[in-house]
Amino acid sequence: MSEDAVDRAWAGLTAQRPFPPPDGPCIALNMVMSVDGRTAIDGRVGALTGPIDQGILRRLRASADAVLVGASTVRAEGYGALLRDAEQPLLAVVSRSLAFAPDAPFLQDTGSPLVLLTTGEHELPDTPRELHSIVAGTLAGAIDILRAEHGVRTIVCEGGASLASSLFDQGLVDEVFVTLSPVLVHDDDQPTIARGEGAVQSLTLIGHAAEASFVFNRYDVGR
Ligand SMILES: NC(=O)c1ccc[n+]([C@@H]2O[C@H](COP(=O)([O-])OP(=O)(O)OC[C@H]3O[C@@H](n4cnc5c(N)ncnc54)[C@H](OP(=O)(O)O)[C@@H]3O)[C@@H](O)[C@H]2O)c1
C-alpha cells in the first residue's frame, strides 16, 4: 500500500474541515460498506476493507481520544491493539450482557486503557489489563461520564449497526465517515450502517476522495 494514497484520501476528507474538528467535542461514526450497502461479509468486515481504508481508520484512531465500539463487533473482530508503534486511544466497549470469552483479544493487555460502558446488570469480565467501567441507564449518560472522567473529547465510533442506531436515536452523532467498497455482497442477512426505525436524516458532504476503486466520504450530520 502506498502511504501517498492514504495521504491523498486523508487530504480529501479533511480539506474543508480538519479532523478532529476544531470547534469542540465530537462523535464521528466510521464504517465501510459495500455498493449494495452491507457492512459485513459472512459476519466479518475483512473482505470489505482494503489497505487505504485501513490507513484512514488508523488516522482516525490516531486523532481520537476514544474508540467506541459495540460488543458484537468486538466479538466478531477481536480488537487487539488499536495502533502499533503509536500512542493508543482509549477503547470504550458498549455491552449490556458483558458476555465475552476470557481469551478475547481486547481483554488482553494491548497497551490502551479499556472502559466498558454498561447498564450494571452483569459482572465485569476478568482481565489482566486495567479495566474501568461506566454504569449508566443511557448511552448519552455513559458518554457524558466517559468525557468527564477520562478527559475524552474526540470519539470515533467504529460500529456496528446496533450501536450506530443507538447513537443516532439519541442524537449523538456529529459526523459520518463512510467508505464505499467496490463489492456487491448480495446477502440480506448482513447488517447495513444503522438499523432501526428513526426519522429520515439529511447529511451534508464535507469531505470526499477516491482511490483504487474505493470512495471515501465524510458527512456532517448537522445536529
Ligand atoms: N463495515 C464496518 O465498518 C463494520 C463496523 C463494525 C462492525 N461491522 C460488522 O457488524 C457486525 C456487528 O454489528 P451489530 O450491529 O450486530 O452489533 P454491534 O453494534 O457491534 O454490537 C451490538 C451489541 O452492543 C451492545 N449495545 C449496543 N447498543 C447498546 C446500548 N444502547 N446499550 C447497551 N448495550 C448496547 C449490546 O451488547 P451485548 O450483546 O453485550 O449486550 C449489543 O448486543 C459484525 O458482523 C461486524 O463485523 C462492520
With the most atoms of ligand 1 within 8 angstroms of its CB, the residue from 29, 58, 79, 94 to mutate is 94
pLDDT digits (tens, 9 = 90+) for 124-157: 999 888 899 999 999 999 999 999 999 999 999 9
What percentage of the chain has pLDDT greater than the value 90?
89
User: Pairing between strand 214-220 and 204-211?
Assistant: antiparallel
Q: What is the pTM of this model?
A: 0.97
pLDDT tens digits for range 167-201: 999 999 999 999 999 999 999 999 999 987 888 99
Kindly report the protein residue whose alpha carbon is nearest to atom 48 of ligand 1. 39
Specify the range with the lowest mean pLDDT, choosing from 50-59, 91-100, 119-128.
119-128
> Which CATH number do you get for residue 155?
3.40.430.10
Rounded distance between C-alpha atoms, residue 190 and residue 173, angstroms: 23
**Helix 3-14 vs helix 51-63: crossing angle, to nearest 10:** 60
* Length of the chain measured in residues: 223
Q: Decide whether any atom of ligand 1 lies within 6 Å of the 191 Cβ.
A: yes
**In this structure, are residues 115 and 150 in contact, taking their beta carbons and an 8 Å threshold?**
yes
Distance CA 37, CA 186 (A): 10
pLDDT confidence of residue 20: 97
Task: State the chain's mean pLDDT as an integer.
Answer: 95
Q: Which domain holds residue 11?
A: 3-195+203-220
What's the total number of domains in the chain? 1
Would you state the cell numbers that stand for residue 6, as one nine-digit string? Answer: 492514504
| Residue 96 Cβ contacting ligand 1 at under 6 Å | yes
The residue with greater pLDDT, 36 or 24, is 36
Q: Which residues pair with 118 in a beta bridge?
A: 135
pLDDT at 1: 60
Q: What is the pLDDT of residue 157?
A: 98
Phi-psi region of 115 (alpha: psi -120 to 50; beta: other; left: phi over 0): beta
The answer on pLDDT for 42 being more than 90 is: yes
Q: Give the full edge-to-edge strand order of the sheet including 131-135.
A: 131-135, 114-118, 90-94, 66-70, 154-157, 26-34, 175-181, 214-220, 204-211
Q: Is the pLDDT reported for residue 223 higher than 80?
A: no
Supply the pLDDT for residue 16.
97
User: With contact defined as beta carbons under 8 Å apart, do 133 and 115 qualify?
Assistant: yes
